[in-house]
Amino acid sequence: MPHFKKLLEPGFIGPFRLKNRILKMGSTLGFYPWQDGHIQQEVIDAYENLAKGGVALVTVGAAPFGVPPGRGYLMDDDRFLPDMARLAEAIRKHDCIALVQAFHIGPMLPPFLRSEKLEPVAASSLRKEELPLPFLSPPRGLEKGEIKRIIEDFVSLAVRAKKAGFQGIEINAACNHFLNTFLSRAWNKRDDEYGPQNIENRARILTEILEGIRSENGRDFLIVVLINGAEIGLKDGITPEESRGIAQVLEKAGADAINIRAEFYFPARDPSRKDSTHFPDVALYPEPPFPVKGLMDERRYGRGGWVPLAHNVKKGVSIPVIVAGRLDPLLAEEVLEKGFVDFVYLNRALMADPELPKKLLEGRFEDVRPCTGCLTCFDNNERGNPPLCQVNPTLGKEKALEVWIATKRKKVLVIGGGPAGMEAARMAALRGHQVLLCDKSPRLGGSMLLASIVKGLEREDHLKLISYYERQLKKLKVEIRLNLTVDRSFVEKVAPDVLIVAVGGAHQIPSVPGIGGKKVLTGKALQEKLRFFLRFFGPKALISLSHIWMPIGKRVAIIGGQIQGCQLAEFLVKRGRKVWVLEETTEVGKGLPEVLIKPRLLDWLEAKGVRILSEAKVKRIHEKGVEVSIEGLRDEFIEVDTVITALPLLPNERAVKEFEGLAPEVYAIGDCKEPQLIVDAIAAGFNLGRTI
């Protein structure tokens, strides 16, 4: 049983004693319908739930400047004081320190939010060709008077926050937001005292904000400053040494703690696609774009990737240093134990399981629901939607989705141990029902298990989630029968009160001449093969073995270019195959997280020589390859050794029909009803398990 001695140890930041070392990183959870700038009750409930889960400190997601009203909530006026006070109180009543994060979006103002009154601004005016990110609109460099007004905005937000009951503020001067454009030589071309001539000048805007807040709010107000530990891959970007120097200046100016992340700039073959990220796990996906040794910890595919940069800063300051970035409890404990940082900020791990600290405190590590790293939350957030987590269906809907013990104990039979079936079984058992869960495979997980063999465990890890379900179902005394194909007579024998059909979707087999040929591996056949091998090997062993041997030729055509086809292409390229992706529609990569993952994966596949053809209709599969009609305009013959179908599933109407009327209550959920993503399957299982 792992211990979490360091994580659970109290510590001090400034004058405040924190009950443990686990802090909730400032992040918008998602967006609720606009209420004239007022903080929505759901936001307050979500933060209260996080505080209740046992974190020592919650930083409330960004109160932004430099964006027009209309999304999220505001804190830039005293009329929001009562809302802010309710939010601070909801956090503080659980013995949790309440901070608010403030940032100015600066040059990152998206084009659709621009108006005559609102333009992208930065330390300096930059021409298009000088911009670190070519897709941005050139920002206008601010006059000194305008800088002073922004400093005042930060100070008055801190004053308002204190009045409302917040105990501190985090100033976000990282990423490529406004404040960072002063710290970075790539952005800052000024020739006055805010210019790049030395570290003091670069940090001057921040030191003036710090001094302003200190003089208004005094010493008993916590100030954390979030800065880039480096701008990796950016010419004239912040270096680790400079970051340490900036932190030293901030310490002198009165900061209580420094929070370190990095901004990672991808080299893109097409400059218009050049992008950056502050997620270390995304930085290295699908593989490191250049050698990163010495800049980040690349050993665990980005998990804890920014720790060396934070450690570098810690060596130069005496105030606490905090780091975030794909940390889980085990890694966080290790990082603290080695003295690399003083506190850890967790974000996604706490969104996936807000009770994580409490569970560690109670010695229930095995009950922590792991974040899979899927980034559904971020993708959803970027689109302006309400909070959404793949594994935690209640995130942001805590009050609406409260769970109650069932009034009548029922006998529940769940057919299918995929994400929908496992979650339905877990919820039903949690509420007191007697549950039997059956699956035809040797292991639980359904399509999620098979998908994780293809996806691998580097960026996303669904095996950990399956193990979590296995542990929970066992603890909740769910009876599990594997290697069992359930039929009508079995159901009749069990005679359940509730029958949940979660058998998974039906495979699409395109009706193309030659589809039955020897060189074709359909999605169904592939799944059956994997299931067969799972009888002898664990999924991790299968992943390793696939690097040595697979019954798949050197040149492969994949029929289907949505999420399934693109992830299969990545799998095959990483195993030395030459790949063609043939997508019948105009949209390649549908289902992949749009913002960070899809562009990266498609760019990488192209760089690896994968030919991705949209509007590509397979006309015939021959002995030697596939005949494809492209855009209905021309035909092409592609010589390949293997053809694999990787198409979205279809509803499994036949299976659903088979079980109709076999129990007083019969429900179909998950892919067999409507094939969707894992997030939808888990939500469907949760919603059903919560109500039966």
Ligand X SMILES: Cc1cc2nc3c(=O)[nH]c(=O)nc-3n(C[C@H](O)[C@H](O)[C@H](O)COP(=O)(O)O)c2cc1C
Contact 168, 223 (CB under 8 A): yes
Shortest separation between residue 277's beta carbon and ligand X, angstroms = 10
> Which CB sits closer to ligand X, 300 or 443?
300
Is the Cα dihedral 378, 383, 384, 389 positive or negative? negative
> Which CB sits closer to ligand SF4, 153 or 594?
594
Identify what 325 binds: ligand X, ligand SF4, none; CB under 5 to 8 Å per kind.
ligand X
Query: CA of 224: how far to CAs of 144, 254, 321, in Å?
Result: 25, 10, 9
> Which CB sits closer to ligand X, 349 or 563?
349
Shortest separation between residue 597's beta carbon and ligand SF4, angstroms = 11
Using the rule CB under 6 A, give the single segment among 383-391, 405-413, 485-493, 582-590 that binds ligand SF4: 383-391
- Specify the DSSP element, H or E, that contains 260: strand 257-265
Return the C-alpha torsion angle 213, 217, 222, 223, nearest 10.
Answer: 0
Phi, psi torsion values for 357, nearest 5 degrees: -60, -40
DSSP classification of residue 190: -
Identify what 374 binds: ligand SF4, ligand X, none; CB under 5 to 8 Å per kind.
ligand SF4
Using the rule CB under 6 A, give the single segment among 131-139, 387-395, 409-417, 630-638 that binds ligand SF4: 387-395
Residue from 27, 181, 207, 390 in contact with ligand SF4 (CB under 6 A): 390
Subset of residues 332 to 351 that bind ligand SF4, contact rule: CB under 6 A: 348, 351
Work out whether 349 is an interface residue with ligand X (CB under 6 A): yes
Work out whether 372 is an interface residue with ligand SF4 (CB under 6 A): yes
Tokens 């992830």 sit at which residue? 567
Phi, psi torsion values for 493, nearest 5 degrees: -65, -45
- Specify the DSSP element, H or E, that contains 186: none
> Which CB sits closer to ligand SF4, 253 or 389?
389
Residue from 63, 223, 375, 491 in contact with ligand SF4 (CB under 6 A): 375
Q: State the helix-helix crossing angle for 41-52 and 81-92, rounded to 10 degrees.
A: 20
Using the rule CB under 6 A, give the single segment among 284-292, 368-376, 422-430, 629-637 that binds ligand SF4: 368-376
- Residue 469 and residue 20: Cα distance in Å, rounded? 27
> Which CB sits closer to ligand X, 225 or 435?
225
- Contacts of residue 660, defined as CB under 8 A and 6 or more positions apart, other chains included, come to 666
> Which CB sits closer to ligand SF4, 156 or 676?
676
Contact 388, 638 (CB under 8 A): no
- Residue 619 and residue 600: Cα distance in Å, rounded? 30
Residue 59: left (phi > 0), alpha (psi -120 to 50), or beta? beta
> Which CB sits closer to ligand X, 202 or 261?
261
Work out whether 386 is an interface residue with ligand X (CB under 6 A): no
Residue from 20, 27, 376, 562 in contact with ligand X (CB under 6 A): 27
Residue from 19, 104, 326, 600 in contact with ligand X (CB under 6 A): 326
Work out whether 391 is an interface residue with ligand SF4 (CB under 6 A): yes
Identify what 543 binds: ligand X, ligand SF4, none; CB under 5 to 8 Å per kind.
none
The radius of gyration of the chain's CA atoms, rounded to the nearest angstrom, is 27
Shortest separation between residue 302's beta carbon and ligand X, angstroms = 9
Q: Name the β-bridge partners of 634.
A: 630
- Contacts of residue 621, defined as CB under 8 A and 6 or more positions apart, other chains included, come to 512, 513, 514, 515, 517, 519, 520, 627, 643
Work out whether 459 is an interface residue with ligand X (CB under 6 A): no
Contact 337, 6 (CB under 8 A): yes
> Which CB sits closer to ligand SF4, 4 or 468?
468
Identify what 326 binds: ligand SF4, ligand X, none; CB under 5 to 8 Å per kind.
ligand X
Using the rule CB under 6 A, give the single segment among 323-331, 395-403, 509-517, 629-637 that binds ligand X: 323-331
Identify what 26 binds: ligand X, ligand SF4, none; CB under 5 to 8 Å per kind.
ligand X
Shortest separation between residue 29's beta carbon and ligand X, angstroms = 6
Work out whether 88 is an interface residue with ligand X (CB under 6 A): no
Contact 642, 552 (CB under 8 A): yes
Work out whether 28 is an interface residue with ligand X (CB under 6 A): yes
Shortest separation between residue 268's beta carbon and ligand X, angstroms = 22
Work out whether 381 is an interface residue with ligand X (CB under 6 A): yes
Identify what 27 binds: ligand X, ligand SF4, none; CB under 5 to 8 Å per kind.
ligand X
Work out whether 217 is an interface residue with ligand X (CB under 6 A): no
Shortest separation between residue 228's beta carbon and ligand X, angstroms = 11
Phi, psi torsion values for 643, nearest 5 degrees: -120, 130
DSSP classification of residue 506: B
> Which CB sits closer to ligand X, 56 or 226?
226
- CA 139 to mean position of chain CA atoms: 29
Query: CA of 318: how far to CAs of 255, 315, 345, 598, in Å?
Result: 11, 8, 19, 41
> Which CB sits closer to ligand SF4, 370 or 421?
370
Q: Beta strand pairing status for 222-232 and 168-173?
A: parallel
Return the C-alpha torsion angle 78, 79, 81, 86, nearest 10.
Answer: -170
> Which CB sits closer to ligand X, 307 or 588?
307
- Assigned token pair, 483: 């290697």
Residue from 7, 23, 26, 646 in contact with ligand X (CB under 6 A): 26
CB atoms within 10 A of CB 623: 8
Residue from 377, 448, 597, 669 in contact with ligand X (CB under 6 A): 377
Subset of residues 399 to 458 that bind ligand SF4, contact rule: CB under 6 A: none
Work out whether 308 is an interface residue with ligand X (CB under 6 A): no
Work out whether 61 is an interface residue with ligand X (CB under 6 A): yes
Number of residues that bind ligand X (CB under 6 A): 23
Contact 386, 410 (CB under 8 A): no
- CA 355 to mean position of chain CA atoms: 18
Tokens 């292991």 sit at which residue? 443
Residue from 371, 453, 556, 579 in contact with ligand SF4 (CB under 6 A): 371
Using the rule CB under 6 A, give the single segment among 187-195, 210-218, 343-351, 434-442 that binds ligand X: 343-351
Work out whether 66 is an interface residue with ligand X (CB under 6 A): no
Number of residues that bind ligand SF4 (CB under 6 A): 13
The number of CA neighbours under 13 Å toward the Cβ of 353 is 22
- Residue 309 and residue 94: Cα distance in Å, rounded? 32
Is the Cα dihedral 399, 403, 408, 413 positive or negative? positive
- Assigned token pair, 358: 């409490």
Binding site for ligand X (CB under 6 A): 25-28, 61-62, 101, 172, 226, 261, 278-279, 324-327, 346-349, 377-378, 381
Binding site for ligand SF4 (CB under 6 A): 348, 351-352, 371-377, 389-391
